[in-house]
Chain A
Amino acid sequence: MVGWLGDWLRDIIAVILLAVFVELLLPNKAMLRYARLVIGLFILLTILSPILKLLQSDVSARLDGIDGLWSETAMMREVPMTGLGQIRRDAEQLSEKRNLEAAGLAEKTLEDAMKNELTQRGGAPVESVDASLKWVDQSGVRTPYISQVVVTLKAAGKEEGGEGEGEATVEEVEPVSVMVDVEGAGGEASREAGAEEPAGEAGRADEPPGESGRWTRADPATAAAIGSIIARGWGVGEEQIVVRLPAGREATH
């Protein structure tokens, strides 16, 4: 009992000593009043500490709130202070994103148009057309150009290549990929937007990408026919067009 009383008294004395030091340290009278209030509260808390223990309230956890409160106000002060640089970066990111979306849309439209054209011209049945756009900086303005077109033909059982037979005669056509690689605009270091698909890179090689196993090239006649259609319609260099067939089930001619 006496030991507990001694502890309590020692705490109170220590807090009061602390208060005296603080009063000495404070710079001016105006602040002194406010600091005195807080320190008085601390002394009160220390004097009340036996009661606090009795009531079993979680004092230390509550007081830890001081830190939380402080960092909260600090955070609130930072939020409205978004710098001009930050805003610019955000704007750039947004416009980049918008460009990407626009490029994606353009690619899709382009692919659809090419596929329609190829189907109408009665070339080999086309499974899918895959166009890759790339960006180039032309005097500060980023403009897209078609870097590659991959036309995937349907592998037909007994399909008659490019003779304009309706699809009726074609049993089943397998994916043919035409890769078109346009270098038209690409003199300068072109920043490549993400608009190109992963296959695009490898696709620049002569052989269609990674496809020794999966794809074979279509026969030169068909490829040339398709290539010329696309080249005429969209101004894509023929060397950038890749026509491919799924391997294994090569089209028989």
Chain B
Amino acid sequence: MSAVEIIQIVGLGLLATVLILVVREQKPMFAFLLAVFTGLFIFLYLIGKIEVIISVLEDLANRSGIPSIYLKTILKIIGIAYIAEFGAQIVRDAGQESIASKIEFAGKVFILVMAVPIISVIVETVIGLLPAGS
């Protein structure tokens, strides 16, 4: 099953690459669009597959007593990372390196935003451990 699918995806990728190489000489714009849509298709296709992994993670989290907020946050981080990476690569393909790095930067910022409440809880705990009034 998976073997067939990987062949399909690799075949699609090769096909798209050859087409892009042919078209690029005439119409660079269409080559770019073709690259974008191929990437989008593979991305969406794989998102459906990732669901299996995510269900494993959820199962793991449920069996142990991890608070569900941990898992939610972690999944959000993965999502942000993937989307930012995907967008950045498309933009980079079009030659806009600087915009791509800004997109990645935005992804990093959002991941760090997730960490703010955790950091504040830990800091508060550590401060609470210190003897008061020193």
A associates with B? yes
Contact B118 A27 (CB under 8 A): no
Q: Given A21, A31, A48, A64, which contacts B53 in the complex, CB threshold below 8 Å?
A: A21
A102 interface residue per 8 A CB criterion:
no
- Can you list, as one digit per residue, whether each of A24-46 has a CB less than 8 Å from chain B (1) or not (0)? 01111011001101110110111
- CB of B122, distance to nearest CB on chain A (Å): 6
A199 interface residue per 8 A CB criterion:
no
- CB of A143, distance to nearest CB on chain B (Å): 51
The docked-state distance in angstroms from the alpha carbon of A21 to that of B61 is: 12
Chain A interface main SS type = helix
Contact B84 A22 (CB under 8 A): no
Q: Which B residues, 51 to 71, have Cβ-Cβ distances below 8 Å to chain A?
A: 53, 56-57, 60-61, 63-67, 69-71
Neighbouring A residues of B107 by C-beta, 8 Å: 31
Q: Given B50, B53, B78, B118, which contacts A63 in the complex, CB threshold below 8 Å?
A: B118
Contact A73 B113 (CB under 8 A): yes
Q: Given B71, B113, B114, which contacts A18 in the complex, CB threshold below 8 Å?
A: B71
The docked-state distance in angstroms from the alpha carbon of A60 to that of B84 is: 29
Given that A25-B78, A48-B125 are contacting pairs, would A42 and B70 also be in contact in the complex, using a CB cutoff of 8 Å?
yes
Contact B112 A34 (CB under 8 A): yes
The docked-state distance in angstroms from the alpha carbon of A180 to that of B121 is: 74
Given that A27-B85, A31-B81 are contacting pairs, would A70 and B104 also be in contact in the complex, using a CB cutoff of 8 Å?
no
Contact A51 B121 (CB under 8 A): no
Interface size on A, residues (CB 8 A): 42
Interface size on B, residues (CB 8 A): 45
Neighbouring A residues of B117 by C-beta, 8 Å: 62-63, 65-66, 69
> How many Cβ-Cβ contacts under 8 Å join chain A to chain B?
126
B128 interface residue per 8 A CB criterion:
yes
Contact A15 B66 (CB under 8 A): yes
A13 interface residue per 8 A CB criterion:
yes
Residue ranges of A at the interface with B (Cβ–Cβ < 8 Å): 7, 10-11, 13-15, 17-18, 21-22, 25-28, 30-31, 34-35, 37-39, 41-42, 44-46, 48, 51-52, 55, 57, 59-60, 62-67, 69-70, 73
Residue ranges of B at the interface with A (Cβ–Cβ < 8 Å): 50, 53, 56-57, 60-61, 63-67, 69-74, 76-78, 81-82, 84-86, 104, 107-108, 110-122, 124-125, 128-129
Extra pairs beyond A11-B64, A14-B60 (10, CB < 8 Å): A7-B65, A11-B65, A14-B66, A22-B74, A26-B78, A28-B81, A31-B104, A38-B77, A38-B115, A46-B66
Q: Can you spell out 6 A-B residue pairs with CB atoms less than 8 angstroms apart? A: A27-B82, A31-B107, A31-B111, A35-B78, A57-B121, A62-B120
